Amino acid sequence: MTTAPRLTRSRSDRWISGVCGGLAARYGWDPTLVRVLVLVLTLVGFGSVAVAYLVMWLVVPQDDAVIPATPPGPPPPTA
């Protein structure tokens, strides 16, 4: 039996807090699409989605991925 991936805030795909990146990763969606949907729904819903976003920022844990300080370089040459 496989378990569904946990909902976590993304450390690698974030603009503000990683909520949209985490939702996109959890459901296999494009992060830009999620960000646009959150923006549109916030404007249409008179800010109710913004409140949900803030709650998720506080409640949803960050993922356990460790981001390297520097991006990896090219692979070493092979002989």
Handedness of CA 22, 29, 13, 36 (dihedral sign): negative
Residues of the chain with pLDDT > 90, as a percent, come to 10
Number of domains in the chain: 1
Asked if residue 2 has pLDDT above 80, the reply is no
What is the model's pLDDT at position 37?
92
pLDDT at 4 over 80: no
CA-based angle 44:48:53, to the nearest 5? 115
Q: Is the pTM of the predicted complex or chain greater than 0.75?
A: no
Residue 7 domain flag? yes
Inside any domain, residue 39: yes
Residues 12-43 pLDDT 10s: 777 888 888 888 888 888 989 999 999 999 89
- Segments forming the whole domain that contains residue 52: 1-61
Domain contains 70: no
